[in-house]
Amino acid sequence: MRCNKIFVFILYMKGQSTGHEIGCEMIKLFNHHISLHAILLAATEVALLIVGGFLLMELMPIHVGASLVNDGGEVLVASLPLAVFLVVCSVGLYSRRVIFHNGFQASQWVTVFALMSGVLGIGLFVFWWSFMPEERFPFSFWAATVAMYSGIGLGLRFAFSQVFRDSEIFRKRVVVLGTGPQAQKIFRGSLEDKKANVNVVGFVGLDGQDSGPVRPLLPDLLHNSRYALADYAQENNIDEIVVTLADRRRPEGGLGGGLPVWEMMDCKLRGIQITEFDCFWEREFGKVELSTIRPSWIIFSDGFQVSAVKRVMKRAFDLLFSSLFLLATLPVLLLTALAIKLDSAGPVFYSQKRVGLNGNLFPVLKFRSMRTDAEKNGAQWASKSDSRVTRVGKFIRKTRIDEIPQILNVFRGEMSFVGPRPERPDFMEELEREVPYYSERHRVKPGITGWAQINYPYGATIEDARQKHSYDLYYLKNISIFLDLVILVQTVRVVLFGEGAR
């Protein structure tokens, strides 16, 4: 069985040509790749949370004076947004590596639901105090609700990991064509790991190409007959063949050299997916491989388009979420300003020139996290355990609170809420020289948070900048409001667990 891209939630039986297990289809939803197992898990969780809320209300109805609130329709209406809210808040916990790592997932879920229980308690208390101040607050109902939602969240993931940990369900079986540098990158990426979305069955060597450190090497499938590769794929339940050849030219009808056109065509006609390395890498890792892309790939690929409609929608998104975020964090802003003033001499804020849209410079605003003489010897990269950082600075950097004042830059139109991190002009010349396509990040406004920021730690070297730019190019290629929302909710996870902070 394999997943149909048209009917996302339907697993269908393949024809007689295959008949293998379920592969993990990465669904491209609004230009962003999401694995099917995450979608199914989230859908199951929402359904269980709604049913749980309904049953809880039936078992523990709330008494309001002489009335009894346990109407099924009201419960359904109330449970649905709460269930969706909790699932959205835990969106960063749906990756396969989290689901199949019990200790990691449990510790994160405890933190998430500790936060959610507080939010639920505050919301219920405010509602009760506003509309029913004379009635007794239902502490037992609140505790039961938190316990039920936590139990469902942790229990479902534990059951999911135990059932599917060692199975091929939700994992595509892949054969890599080639053993050169691109194939070696796939091998080093540990895609053969059972926690990955795919299972790399093996690598097929080619004439004239060095056999790099990849394994397992499959038997010779390109010389015995034209149909050997397709026969192997069919007999071994292969879902996809990834082409990693740098030179795609091949003599007409020949069996040596570059891309084996006729063999690949036979595989394609038997229903086996054929994918180029660049597309495979983008889909599985959520980033672009800088060493392999060419201008032609950017020109002809599906993406890298920011229409006028998208710009208007993104601006509305920025203003809405910046306003809400500013209101929600106002107490944090005031406490942080006071802490900085008491901790070290100097101003609360600092302004620094950064590169924005189309390469224009603008002053970015942040909470001061370093000593006032931090750059007396010139601009420097931020390093781990940087001695220039103050005591309060360490905390606000860890929690990303130092970034919050950039909301003012968003209101002024110099930044977006989501986008590439704004870079300092002092480093631009070197970065544009060393990192391919680095200047292309300035096609959109920089952001307070972004795809690179939630997937990679602070950069301290040129290599760090290269890695982060590979994520930024993925964002530029697949930019959408949906991806901005995904980044926004995953930023909560990054802040909660201090991932990648310096």
Percentage of residues of the chain with pLDDT beyond 90? 23
What's the pLDDT score for residue 9? Answer: 33
Mean pLDDT within 491-498 = 70
Angle between helix 481-497 and helix 72-89 axes, rounded to 10 deg: 70
Q: Tell whether the model's pLDDT for residue 369 goes beyond 80.
A: yes
Q: What mean pLDDT value characterizes the chain?
A: 77
pLDDT computed for residue 251 by the predictor: 43
Residue 223 confidence (pLDDT) above 60: yes
Average pLDDT value for residue range 184-198: 72
User: Mind listing the pLDDT tens digit for each residue in 304-351?
Assistant: 888 888 889 999 999 998 998 888 889 999 999 999 988 888 889 989
| Percent of the chain residues past pLDDT 70, beyond the cut | 69
**What are the tens digits of pLDDT across the range 198-208?**
888 889 887 66
Across the range 5-33, mean pLDDT stands at: 48
Q: Which helix (H) or strand (E) holds 243?
A: strand 240-243
Question: Residue 267 pLDDT more than 60?
Answer: yes
Q: State the pTM of this model.
A: 0.78
The residue-averaged pLDDT of 371-397 equals: 70
**Mean pLDDT confidence for 10-15:** 33
What pLDDT shows up at residue 454?
Answer: 86
For the domain spanning 172-285, the CATH number is 3.40.50.20
Higher pLDDT, 186 or 127: 186
Task: Pick 396 or 447 by higher pLDDT.
Answer: 447
> Which range is least confidently modeled, 46-50, 127-131, 407-411?
127-131
**Which DSSP string do the residues of 135-181 spell out, in sequence order?**
SPP-HHHHHHHHHHHHHHHHHHHHHHHHHHTTS-TT-EEEEEE--SH
Q: Does residue 194 surpass a pLDDT of 60?
A: no
Among the ranges given (16-25, 121-130, 150-159, 289-298), the one the predictor scored with the smallest mean pLDDT: 16-25
Q: Residue 240: helix, strand or coil by DSSP? A: strand
pLDDT at 434 over 80: yes
pLDDT of residue 416: 95
pLDDT at 255: 39
Picking from 380, 306, 375, the residue whose alpha carbon sits closest to that of residue 346 is: 375
Question: What mean pLDDT comes out for the span 423-442?
Answer: 90
More confident: 64 or 327: 327
Q: Is the pLDDT of residue 119 over 60?
A: yes
The 10s digit of each residue's pLDDT in 66-114 is 444 555 555 556 566 666 666 665 656 666 656 666 555 666 666 666 6
Most confident option among 21-35, 45-59, 169-183, 423-437: 423-437
318 vs 449: CA distance, rounded Å: 12
pLDDT-based confidence at 28, cuts 50/70/90?
confident
Given this model, what pLDDT does residue 15 score?
Answer: 33
Q: How confident is the model at residue 20 (pLDDT cuts 50, 70, 90)?
A: very low
Q: Check: CB of residue 160 under 8 Å from CB of residue 41.
A: yes
- At 497, the pLDDT band (50, 70, 90 cuts) reads low
Q: Which of 306, 251, 266, 276 lies closest to 440 in space, CA to CA?
A: 306
CA terminus-to-terminus distance, the chain: 45
The pLDDT value recorded for residue 247 is 46
Buried-exposed string 420-435: b where 16+ CB fall within 10 A, e elsewhere: bbbbeeebeeebeeeb
What is the per-residue pLDDT for 460? 73
**Which residue carries 């997937």 as its tokens?**
455
Mean pLDDT of 459-475: 89
- Mean pLDDT lowest among 30-34, 92-96, 395-399, 479-483: 92-96
Q: Is the pLDDT of residue 19 over 50?
A: no
What pLDDT sits at residue 66?
A: 43
- Of 106, 58, 62, 109, nearest to 86 (Cα)? 109
In what helix (H) or strand (E) does residue 362 lie, and over which residues does it extend? strand 361-367
Annotated domain spans of the chain: 32-164, 172-285, 308-497
CA distance 286 to 470: 9
Q: Which has more pLDDT, 40 or 95? A: 40
